[in-house]
Structure 1
């Protein structure tokens, strides 16, 4: 089994919140080849206190017991994306929990990062020696072959929130796999999938179906002109989880990647060298360039129905 730590800005369960981070946690639990060591939380889609509370709530709903460690409540250098709130949880800081797990299981732990990369950047600052001890890092983040086409958020959200952290991770020497918007926007579940989940015997699958339907409806009303498909939603974070034990579900290409930090105009944008020119730089990662969307969709629905 693959030991993983899931680092997340989970917001599922709050009104008007995205569902894919919660589904990523559920998929990690449902995968028989994953040993989920811990969940760590970070400021991103919501404030870190809410992410911690909602992670506990979702784990309770699934009936699964795993440690949840509260992490960074703000980016390394920038203002937090959400207000900082008092916490009801006593916790070991997420960065320390990450370091401890890697030290206890050298070359065995895969980090699955589906929020801003602040926690792992802090862990690397506290203990740079963990970098060669990490088995693999799978990151839902970045956009490498296209653009966001948003002047207010030129980089993909997880990178845009804390580009300095993303740059530290990119330059860390750890074995990195980026699952970016280039592929995640292609993996979608629709209202028919939601209905199939709602018809399941699994209480969690029924909840997942109802949550999917509510999220699609919310986004269609909030963005009636900008959403490309009003009857489906992208499964960004679950694809990163699926790629841990099903790496051939996507096509990988070696690349040298860094992220823009100097200007708000380009904040968080990925600079990806695909190594096609003469004397290219040394690659520091692989990026997902294609995805078998039908295979993912089938895997996703069947796994959620198992919970």
Structure 2
């Protein structure tokens, strides 16, 4: 009886590792200038995003600024228990969730719709001029933008109330009205960021195969059907990735916007986790409780990103990783 032995001709693991390292060095040498361009952004992330994570341990301590972080006593999860027992925390968490969901539901489709409309413009000068006008609000800080909003909504001499009075209505105190404040937050946020959000979608639309549009025209599809059956399916991966990233910011209701526009009269509908952290952490110097609130928000965001990414990949689409 003969035993047939097959020779293993696959490279040894050490050989594979050496080849990978050599390929890595070759790629690095070839693209060294691209890596050099990447360096400032990488340094920024390390200094301002990763180094500050050291301070997260404050959430598990009774922090004393005179003792320092390391010498402050450990209290475990006591700060989180105090946070969840805070009478107003449930209301603050609900406000954060409601405002964020409203901005996501109404704000996420807005740049997609606007990008579809801009993509249909054929006069290049008018298209570029329109894009420049739409991008402009993004570059205006919330401090200036909030001042413009307050001026427009002023109940005495604001433009909006002048229009309301012209048609026989009564002036409305928009920024002190619980019924209107959330709507103002959503509308102004969409107006400010909608134009800037179109950049990614317009870039994705440039990669759509023109033959698909030609085939759809031959089949009798009008512009709307071309957008619905050709453009949107072609940019669907980009839309899903942007949706995942937006879900990660679901509890980012917009600190600067709300802080600059709200007042104690609308705390019941406008007070969010970020403004709560600011009041407790900065104004009252309760750094441990404020850090616990911020860490809680970050953990929720991480869970949402991971869950959304898994759901997208189960449907056969490309996720973030």
Normalising by structure 2, report the TM-score. Answer: 0.23
- Which structure is higher in strand share? 1
- Which structure is higher in helix share? 2
Structure index of larger Rg: 2
